[in-house]
Amino acid sequence: GAVVSQHPSRVICKSGTSVKIECRSLDFQATTMFWYRQFPKQSLMLMATSNEGSKATYEQGVEKDKFLINHASLTLSTLTVTSAHPEDSSFYICSALTTSGAYEQYFGPGTRLTVT
């Protein structure tokens, strides 16, 4: 199957700083990528839809000025958590959508963010 990577796999940052998470589709082009957040013992919650070359679409309740998404190429989307606070500590997962044949989503391995 298609491969999606995330970098970094885990990051610890201080409160008030910003953190950038990268999501790459390694062997296919993805015009659409999705960002999810998952708190402990909970399900994945969709944060936003990232479209190459256009502004991201955010789910209700997700602050677009706090979670900046950039999808500058067909293989890379970035999520920047600005002015991070301890409550932003979570597991952030991206997925990339293939469009060759059937539409299938492939998920990255996730990024564990801890804000101290």
Instruction: Write the binding mask 46 to 65 for another protein: x where contact by CB under 8 A, - elsewhere.
Output: x--x----------------
3-class secondary-structure state, position 48 = strand
CB contact at 8 A, 35 and 47: yes
Residue 115 burial (CB count, 10 A): 20
The binder of another protein chosen from 18, 29, 99, 116 (CB under 8 A): 99
Q: State the chain's maximal CA–CA distance in angstroms.
A: 44
Q: Six-digit token pair at 84?
A: 């991070």
CB of 74 to another protein, least distance (A): 14
Nearer CB in complex with another protein: 14/96: 96
CB contact at 8 A, 21 and 37: no
Q: Decide if residue 107 touches another protein (CB under 8 A).
A: yes
Binding piece for another protein, criterion CB under 8 A, among 11-19, 71-79, 82-90, 104-112: 104-112
Q: Decide if residue 45 touches another protein (CB under 8 A).
A: yes
Q: Six-digit token pair at 104?
A: 């299938």
- Written as one letter, the residue type at 58 is Y
Name the site residues for another protein (rule: CB under 8 A).
Answer: 1, 4, 6, 32, 34, 36, 43-46, 49, 91, 93, 95, 97, 99, 102-110, 112
